Amino acid sequence: MPPASGPPPATPTDSDADHAARLARGFRALVGLTTGLIVLGAMVRAHGAGLACPDWPLCHGRVVPDFDLKVAFEVGHRAVAGTVSLLFVVLAALALLRPATRRIAGPWLAASAALLAVQVVLGALTVWHLLASWTVTSHLLTGNAVNASFALAAARLADAARGRGASAA
């Protein structure tokens, strides 16, 4: 029997709705991780550890500094922030691969990317300006806006996975 021509038939696990559902779960996990990051940032502040690493992006000029409790809080905050950023890039790339999820989540992903870039800069400015109140406040507010944008992306993708809305996957 000759081999079948053309692409293989789509399977249920390969559908746009399933893809949107998986992405929604990923973005919900990202919201949880980002919420934890915001709490960790509050712990950094409460323990007076905001300048335990007086430079940025390194800590005492090193990738892996000597640790004490304050340095551990600050380095931990930076490590979780890096994980949030990396996970966002992976999820956004996966969403942009398919036209259906790109159409659904694209605007939220663009907003999230812009907010995340601002957030990274504000984190650096917070250190460089020695915890100036405007940087600390802006960093906290922008972090919450980033998290809200992740939550909105998750909601849009979950709605599309359930077939709700005009632009459902």
Give the pLDDT confidence of 12-66 residue by residue, as tens digits. Answer: 345 999 999 999 999 999 999 999 999 999 999 999 999 999 999 999 999 999 9
- 63-72 contacts at long range (C-beta below 8 A, 24 or more positions apart): none
The CA radius of gyration of the chain, in Å to the nearest whole number, is 20
Alpha carbons 97 and 17: distance in angstroms, whole number: 14
The confidence score (pLDDT) of residue 130 equals: 97
Give this prediction's pTM.
0.87
Helix ranges, the chain (H): 16-46, 69-97, 99-128, 133-161
Residues 6+ apart with CB under 8 A from 103: 167
